[in-house]
């Protein structure tokens, strides 16, 4: 059986509540966007994709190896933005400030090691962020961007990261459902 997987960092309930309030503000603009359910908010470190469930042991071993010798670290959640550009926004995100570039280091290790399981390397440079919504059409995008500008530099909080998690993603008509399969502690 196949499973759709990714490696993530979960966020604290306090940050989740601030991000949900931020989403509620943006929803008032009535842009045509799909907002990430608050319980699904996370930082994706590496999207693995669809793999055979029989490879789960190898997946876990790769994750453990990738975070070996990575000590717990701190992240700040400050500011907002859009991808790929402000002129053509498709993703609304909260910025993740990782001063030690620890997430980028873990991503690079995972990217390299998952090639052994025929997982493609990422085409684009890793940029730590927290996706809060995806823009579907141009309806009210200008108003949405104006509203976003009022959140430049907004401090959503900070977090002490002590683990990464392997998540399963089931794509359902009502939106994705994420299930934590395994936690890997940083030591």
pLDDT one-digit tens code per residue, 51-67:
999 999 999 999 999 99
Is the pLDDT assigned to residue 122 strictly greater than 90? no
Report the C-alpha gap between 51 and 81 in whole angstroms: 32
User: What is the pTM for the complete model shown?
Assistant: 0.94
What pLDDT was estimated at residue 61? 97
The residue written with tokens 């926004």 in the block is 89
User: pLDDT-based confidence at 148, cuts 50/70/90?
Assistant: very high
Q: What is the CATH number of the domain that holds 168?
A: 3.90.1140.10
Signed CA dihedral, 170, 176, 181, 182: sign only: positive
> What range defines the domain where residue 174 resides?
2-185
User: Do the Cβ atoms of 19 and 38 come closer than 8 Å?
Assistant: yes
pLDDT one-digit tens code per residue, 71-90:
999 999 999 999 998 889 99
Q: Which residues are tagged catalytic?
A: 42, 129
What pLDDT was estimated at residue 174? 86
The total domain count for the chain is: 1
Mean pLDDT of the chain: 95
User: pLDDT-based confidence at 99, cuts 50/70/90?
Assistant: very high
What pLDDT was estimated at residue 90? 96
User: pLDDT-based confidence at 104, cuts 50/70/90?
Assistant: very high
What pLDDT was estimated at residue 175? 86
The residue written with tokens 């052994």 in the block is 116
């Amino acid at each position: 059986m196949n499973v759709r997987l990714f490696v993530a960092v979960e966020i604290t309930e306090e940050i989740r509540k601030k991000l949900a309030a931020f989403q509620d503000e943006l929803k008032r603009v009535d842009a045509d966007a799909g907002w990430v359910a608050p319980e699904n908010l996370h930082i994706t470190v590496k999207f693995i994709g669809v793999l055979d469930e029989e490879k789960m042991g190898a997946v876990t071993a790769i994750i453990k190896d990738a975070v070996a010798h990575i000590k717990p670290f701190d992240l700040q959640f400050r500011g907002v933005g859009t991808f790929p550009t402000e002129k053509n926004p498709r993703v609304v995100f909260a910025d993740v400030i990782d001063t030690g570039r620890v997430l980028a280091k873990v991503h690079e290790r995972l990217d390299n090691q998952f090639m052994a399981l025929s997982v493609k390397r990422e085409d684009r440079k890793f940029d730590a962020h927290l996706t809060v919504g995806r823009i579907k059409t141009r309806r009210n995008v200008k108003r949405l961007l104006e509203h976003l500008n009022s959140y430049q530099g907004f401090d959503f909080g900070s977090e002490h990261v002590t683990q990464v998690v392997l998540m399963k993603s089931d794509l359902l008509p009502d939106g994705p459902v994420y299930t934590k399969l395994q936690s890997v502690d940083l030591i």
